[in-house]
A = this chain, B = another copy of it.
Amino acid sequence: MAHSAVERRLSTIAASVEAALDGVLSLEAGAGETARPARLVEAMRYAMLGGGKRLRPALVVLTAEMLRADTAGALRAGLAVECVHGYSLIHDDLPAMDDDALRRGRPTLHRAFDEATAILAGDALLTLAFDLLAAPATHPDAQVRIGLVSELARAAGVGGMVGGQMLDLAAEGRFSGAPAEPQDEAAVLRLQAMKTGALIAAPIVMGAALGGATPEQRVALAAYGRALGAAFQVADDLLDVEGEAATVGKATGKDAAAGKATLVAALGVDGARRRLADLTAQAGDALSPFGADAEGLRDLARFVAERRA
């Protein structure tokens, strides 16, 4: 796919994600549920609907499609990852965490609703993710579905995304009472691999599982996922330094102001740009066993590296 072809494919997937989330985040109680409080569902919809790149669901779908797996099941697994991503943003934005007022150019959930509702909406989205994965519509084989649950739980938990957010707060000096300390490169890489990398790599591994990948293919796709996750974060750090708030949809320059542990702080802008090029090349190399079939994933890595928002 050429660059614009990737963007077209991402747009199509994003539209499917939006429509599917609209259906899932419904006021109607599902099987085994008593009732769904309207305000809570509205808060979940506010946070989850109305756009977003939907990169994580796209990673499940594109990986599964490369392996000729069912797109509907992959989309559903992608919704689960998107719910985890959405919950993490809601909780990260809370006053006790990053205290952010804007997200994608709109008031954050706790500003638009209130803090209690935002905490509970995040909790409900995290829980919903596992409910979605568990249903037969995701994949007919229970063994595959339980593998997805396991993968997502590891990526999101104490040794993954949540652990990474904890390290991020610690790096800001939040728990020591001391000002933020410059983190060395190894510490920044570990923090970022956990906080954002894990939830970029997991949907690729999940797509591999849905597509019945061989062990060798899984190893290759996991390597692609790690490189892509790292590239995504470097691009994000660069955007915070170089981007315009209007394009990025949130305040920029915040990382430096907060003393955040970023790779730009550790390597400088030029060093970070070189690292980004290396990681994009690594991501492409990891896909070599798939030949031309991996063109979509290869273009996606370039797209992630070059994104402006």
Question: Using a CB–CB distance below 8 Å, which chain A residues touch chain B?
Answer: 29-37, 39-41, 44, 87, 91, 94, 96-97, 114-117, 119-120, 122-124, 126-128, 130-131, 133-135, 142-143, 145-147, 149-160, 162-167, 169-170, 174-175, 190, 193-194, 198
Contact = CB atoms under 8 A, between A and B. Distances in A.
A7 to B, nearest CB: 32
A39 B142 contact: no
Given A119-B97, A130-B130, A146-B145, A158 B32 contact: no
Contacts of A37: 158, 163, 166-167, 170
Contact of A153 (B44, B91, B131, B151): B131
21 contacts: A32-B155, A33-B158, A33-B159, A33-B160, A34-B164, A34-B194, A35-B159, A35-B190, A36-B159, A39-B170, A41-B158, A91-B119, A114-B175, A124-B162, A126-B127, A128-B157, A130-B130, A131-B149, A131-B154, A135-B150, A145-B146
Most buried by B among A119, A154, A159: A159
B97 A162 contact: no
A270 B91 CA distance: 43
A interface, over-half SS: helix
A41 B159 CA distance: 10
B149 A133 contact: yes
Nearest to A222: B32
A122 B97 CA distance: 14
A130 B117 CA distance: 23
A162 B162 CA distance: 20
A202 to B, nearest CB: 9
Shortest beta-carbon contacts, A-B, top 5: A33-B159, A96-B115, A131-B153, A134-B150, A127-B157
B154 A40 contact: no
Contacts of A35: 159, 163, 190, 194
A150 B80 CA distance: 13
A26 B149 CA distance: 21
Contacts of A123: 87, 91, 122-123, 126, 162
B40 A117 contact: no
Contacts of A115: 96
